[in-house]
Amino acid sequence: MSRCIIISAAPYSDISFYKDKISDDDFVICADGGYEYAKNAGVSVDLIVGDFDSSSVPDTDIETIILPVHKDDTDTMYAAREAVKRGFRDIVMLSSVGGREDHTQANYGVLFYLKHHGCSAEIVCENFKAFIIENELIKIENQRGKTFSVFPYACKRCGVSLKGFEYPLASYTLKSEYPLGVSNVIISDAAEVSISGGSAIVYIYDEI
């Protein structure tokens, strides 16, 4: 199955940094105003969804799902549900953080939803990416020198082990009220992160 790109409408977003990473095989969904970002970046779009409460319905032949203004799902949440419904399990979210903090938090919730529906999903911005780890060990390859942060997500605490980091951890209980996991550095091309007893959100920054 090909990858799905979801482009949201966080203000002041420019997705041109990601254009060369979108292939012809990717299925691109734009959530409401995200279509303008895609169009400005020259990205080909396969589906548009949204209630268009702050913009007009695009005049295009692209498949468009018009949502009611009064609804439970955000436009991005609906786009994620649609991606899962259509069988996609590898998903990248663009233009989904920044601007209103409540919308940013909502989109991290979408990331968690995708994780719980069997997806490999990440939020990608110009200088960082974020993803969820839950009761698993992952390898982080060829990211030496990048800044790494990890925090419990949707739980009070979780077990964390880090190998290949400036500040390693071995079965440490990371608590949500104490941000010990902020601003570590990856020092190996084959680093490992293990999360047990809960879930965590990870941030990897290209530059600080």
Domain endpoint, select from 110, 126, 142: 126
Examine the domain organization and report whether 25 and 106 are in the same domain.
yes
What average pLDDT does range 165-175 have in this prediction? 98
Q: What letters, b where the CB count within 10 A reaches 16 and e where it falls short, cover 178-192?
A: eeebeebebeeeebb
Examine the domain organization and report whether 121 and 96 are in the same domain.
yes
| 175 has pLDDT over 80 | yes
Could you report the per-residue pLDDT of 40-76, keeping only the tens digit for each? 999 999 999 998 876 778 889 999 999 998 989 999 9
What average pLDDT does range 179-190 have in this prediction? 97
Examine the domain organization and report whether 115 and 140 are in the same domain.
no
d(CA 30, CA 42): 13
Evaluate if pTM is beyond 0.85: yes
What pLDDT does residue 90 have?
98
What pLDDT does residue 47 have?
98
What pLDDT does residue 208 have?
62
Examine the domain organization and report whether 119 and 138 are in the same domain.
no
Q: For position 104, which CATH number holds?
A: 3.40.50.10240
What average pLDDT does range 110-118 have in this prediction? 97
| 117 has pLDDT over 70 | yes
Tell me how far CA of residue 119 lies from CA of 7, 43, 115, in angstroms.
Answer: 17, 23, 5
Average pLDDT, the chain: 95
What pLDDT does residue 135 have?
97
What average pLDDT does range 156-170 have in this prediction? 98
| 5 has pLDDT over 90 | yes
Examine the domain organization and report whether 15 and 47 are in the same domain.
yes
| Tokens coding 203 | 């941030």
Examine the domain organization and report whether 160 and 98 are in the same domain.
no
Range of the domain at 146: 131-205
| 97 has pLDDT over 70 | yes
Examine the domain organization and report whether 181 and 122 are in the same domain.
no
Examine the domain organization and report whether 82 and 13 are in the same domain.
yes
